[in-house]
Chains A and B, each alone.
Chain A
C-alpha cells in the first residue's frame, strides 16, 4: 500500500500480492499521485501538460456508422456536452479514482448530484429513509420537491440502527445519510448501516462533501453510492459550483427495477445486464443527466480539477486549524459547547477516529453562552466584530467562513422553532480555512471579548 494513502480503509492489508516470474505485480499508485494524474493523459496532438478546457457544445462524428453506434451506446465517445465532455471526463475519472469508485458522473452542483443520483433510482410511490442530520437544502429536496413526484421521505437519528430498520418498508428504495452531518457535526456509522442496507437489498447513498475523499472513502466501508458537492473542499477556491455521483460497483442494480428495467429510449436495453458494474452510472448519464440537463460546465470542471490537485495538502491544514480552533473555543468562558468530533469529549469522537483518522473535517458549530445576555444578540455582535472570518452562506472555502443561523438563514423562526430544527439562538457555524492559526484565534478572541463589553 502506498504510504501517502491515509489509513481509512477497512480491508487494506499490508501483504503484497504474489507476483509471477514473467509478470511483475501491477503497481497501485498512491492517493496524491492520483490527485495529480488520474484521468488525464497528455494528448497526442499538443502534449498539453495542464488539462485543456474543451469549451464546446458538440463533437464531430467520424462517420454515420460511428454516430449511430454512439447513440446506441455501443461505442464510447463524445456526443454533446450535456452528456459528456473531455474536460469534465478528467474531473470525473479523477474524483472516481480518489474515491475508489468505478466511475463518476459530474453534475452542475451538489444538489443536482443528489437529484440526478436519486431520480435514476426512484419512481412515484417510492420512499427514502434518511438520516435526520442533513443539510437543510437536502431535507427540502426530499420533503418538498420529491413529494411533488409522490416520493416520500422519513427521517431517523443517524446512528440508531433499530430506527433505520423500523423505518424501512416495502416501498423503500434507498437509504441516505451524510458522512459528517451538516451542521450537527455527527459522524455516520457507515459500516453497520451499509450492512443493514445490504441485508434489505437496498443501496446506501452517502453525501461525503464535508469529509472529501481524502479524509474518508465511504465506498471502502460498503456504501453503494456517494454524492459530493464539489463546490466545497474539492474546489477549495470558492469560485465554482459543481457536484459528483460515484458508484463503488459493489451493489447489484439488476435487483432494482427502476435501474434494471428495459429502457424505452434505448430499444429495451437493460443497463445492469449490458454494462455490469458500470450500469447504474451509464444509465444515470445516458438517461437522467440527458433528461435533466444538470451537467457540469467544462470551465467549472477545469476549476475543480485545480482544486483536486492540492486536496490532501489543503485538507491536512484545514483539519489542523479546525482542531486548534475547536480546542481554543472549548476552553473559552463565553462558549458553552463546541460540536467538533476531534474533541475527546465529543459523542462522535470514537466514530471519527474510525472513519476520519486524519481529522473530522473543518466545519463545526459552537454555542455562545454570554452571561446574562440574549444569545441571539450576542451572536449578531460576534459576527459584526469578526474581521477575518467571511460572513456568508457557504462552507469548505480556503478562507475561514462564519454563519449565525439565528440572524440569517433561520431569522424568521422563534426560539422554539429553532430548537426543534436542532438549532439555537446562540449557535454559530464555522468553516475553518487555511489562514495562520494564530490569526484565526486572534480574530475569534476579539469578537468574543466584544460581546462582554
Chain B
C-alpha cells in the first residue's frame, strides 16, 4: 500500500522484519538533507526520533547545527560512528550517499517516503548494508511502537500478545 515499488521490491526493501531490526539496533542516525526549517517533514522525523532516544546527526551543506546537534557538510566528515544513513534528498543523489554510507561503516541505508533509487540500493546491498526505500522512519517507528495508531492510522499490526507494540 502507498508505495511505487513492486510487490517483489516491497518484500525486499520494506520488509517489516528488516525495518524492525534496523529501528531496534540503531542508536545514531545521520540524516542527509535534514532541513533547518522547523515545519519541514525532515524536522518532524528528526524531533520525533530524538524524543525516542535516537541520536540524530544532521548532514547539511551550510548549517552549523540543527536541533541542538552539530551539522556536518557530508557523511565522510562525521566523526562518530553512524548506524543508519537516512536520506531526504532526490533519487539521483542517492547512489553517492550509498557509497559514502558503506565507506563510513553504516549498517543500514534508509531512503525516505517517495525516494526510490534501485542503484543506491544495489550499492548498499553489495556492501552488506540493510536497505529500506520509500518509507518514513518516523511512520515506521510509530507503526510498531503504536503512536501512529493513536492517530487512527492503519498500522497493519495484528497480535494477541500483551503489550507488544514495540519495534
Chain A residues proximal to chain B, CB less than 8 Å: 17-20, 23-26, 29, 33-34, 37-39, 41-45, 47, 65-66, 69, 73-78, 84, 86, 88-89, 92-93, 96-97, 100-106, 249-250, 266-270, 273-278, 281-282, 285
Q: Name the residue on B nearest A88 (C-beta).
A: B152
Complex: A102 Cα to B139 Cα, angstroms: 12
Complex: A276 Cα to B160 Cα, angstroms: 30
B147–A75 contact, CB under 8 A? Answer: yes
B8–A18 contact, CB under 8 A? Answer: yes
Distance in Å: Cβ of A249 to nearest Cβ of chain B: 4
Beta-carbon contacts under 8 Å, B143-167 to A: 146-165
Distance in Å: Cβ of B73 to nearest Cβ of chain A: 25
Distance in Å: Cβ of A27 to nearest Cβ of chain B: 9
B77 within 8 A of A: no
Complex: A290 Cα to B161 Cα, angstroms: 33
**Residues A281 and B153 in contact in the complex (CB < 8 Å), given A41-B164, A268-B39, A276-B136:** yes
Complex: A345 Cα to B154 Cα, angstroms: 40
Q: What are the 9 closest A-B residue pairs judged by CB atoms, nearest first?
A: A44-B163, A76-B147, A92-B152, A103-B153, A96-B154, A249-B2, A274-B41, A277-B2, A17-B7
B53 within 8 A of A: no
B113 surroundings in chain A (CB, below 8 A): 276-277
Distance in Å: Cβ of B116 to nearest Cβ of chain A: 14
Looking at B44-52, B54-62, B93-101, the stretch in contact with chain A turns out to be B44-52
A26–B15 contact, CB under 8 A? Answer: yes
B40–A77 contact, CB under 8 A? Answer: no
B148–A76 contact, CB under 8 A? Answer: yes
Complex: A106 Cα to B146 Cα, angstroms: 18
Complex: A45 Cα to B151 Cα, angstroms: 21
Distance in Å: Cβ of A259 to nearest Cβ of chain B: 15
Distance in Å: Cβ of A74 to nearest Cβ of chain B: 5
A37–B159 contact, CB under 8 A? Answer: yes
B152–A41 contact, CB under 8 A? Answer: no
Distance in Å: Cβ of A85 to nearest Cβ of chain B: 9
Distance in Å: Cβ of B139 to nearest Cβ of chain A: 7
Q: Counting chain A CB atoms within 10 Å of each CB, which of B16, B39, B146 scores highest? A: B39
B38 within 8 A of A: yes
B15–A23 contact, CB under 8 A? Answer: yes
Distance in Å: Cβ of A252 to nearest Cβ of chain B: 11
**Residues A97 and B154 in contact in the complex (CB < 8 Å), given A267-B39, A273-B41, A277-B2:** yes
Complex: A177 Cα to B51 Cα, angstroms: 43
Complex: A282 Cα to B160 Cα, angstroms: 28
Q: Name the residue on B nearest A219 (C-beta).
A: B1
Contact of B156 among A18, A33, A97, A267 (CB under 8 A): A97
Contact of B149 among A24, A89, A101, A285 (CB under 8 A): A89
B2 surroundings in chain A (CB, below 8 A): 102, 249-250, 276-277
B158–A93 contact, CB under 8 A? Answer: no
Complex: A406 Cα to B146 Cα, angstroms: 51
B33 within 8 A of A: no
A37 surroundings in chain B (CB, below 8 A): 158-160
B89 within 8 A of A: no
The contact size tier of chain B is 35 or more
Q: Name the residue on B nearest A266 (C-beta).
A: B39
A75–B51 contact, CB under 8 A? Answer: yes
A274–B44 contact, CB under 8 A? Answer: yes
**Residues A103 and B159 in contact in the complex (CB < 8 Å), given A18-B8, A18-B11, A274-B41:** no
B11–A20 contact, CB under 8 A? Answer: yes
Contact of A106 among B1, B152, B158 (CB under 8 A): B152
Q: Name the residue on A nearest B142 (C-beta).
A: A76
B47–A74 contact, CB under 8 A? Answer: yes
Complex: A24 Cα to B18 Cα, angstroms: 11
Interface string of B1-44 (1 = CB under 8 A from A): 11000011011100111100000000000000000001111011
B91 within 8 A of A: no
**Residues A274 and B39 in contact in the complex (CB < 8 Å), given A41-B146, A249-B1:** yes
Q: Name the residue on A nearest B15 (C-beta).
A: A23
Q: Name the residue on A nearest B141 (C-beta).
A: A76
Q: Name the residue on B nearest A286 (C-beta).
A: B151
Complex: A268 Cα to B147 Cα, angstroms: 23
A269–B160 contact, CB under 8 A? Answer: no
B154–A41 contact, CB under 8 A? Answer: no
B51–A41 contact, CB under 8 A? Answer: no
Q: Counting chain A CB atoms within 10 Å of each CB, which of B8, B136, B158 scores highest? A: B158
B48 surroundings in chain A (CB, below 8 A): 69, 74-76
A86 surroundings in chain B (CB, below 8 A): 150
A100–B1 contact, CB under 8 A? Answer: yes
B8–A17 contact, CB under 8 A? Answer: yes
Distance in Å: Cβ of B66 to nearest Cβ of chain A: 14
Distance in Å: Cβ of A52 to nearest Cβ of chain B: 13
A41–B148 contact, CB under 8 A? Answer: no
B18–A23 contact, CB under 8 A? Answer: yes
Complex: A281 Cα to B147 Cα, angstroms: 15
Complex: A355 Cα to B32 Cα, angstroms: 46
Contact of B152 among A17, A66, A103, A250 (CB under 8 A): A103
22 contacts between A and B (CB under 8 A): A17-B11, A23-B15, A26-B11, A41-B161, A43-B162, A66-B51, A73-B44, A74-B43, A76-B151, A78-B150, A88-B152, A96-B152, A97-B156, A100-B1, A102-B153, A103-B152, A105-B152, A266-B39, A267-B39, A274-B40, A275-B41, A278-B139
Contact of A93 among B1, B10, B17, B155 (CB under 8 A): B155
Complex: A34 Cα to B157 Cα, angstroms: 10
Q: Name the residue on B nearest A73 (C-beta).
A: B44
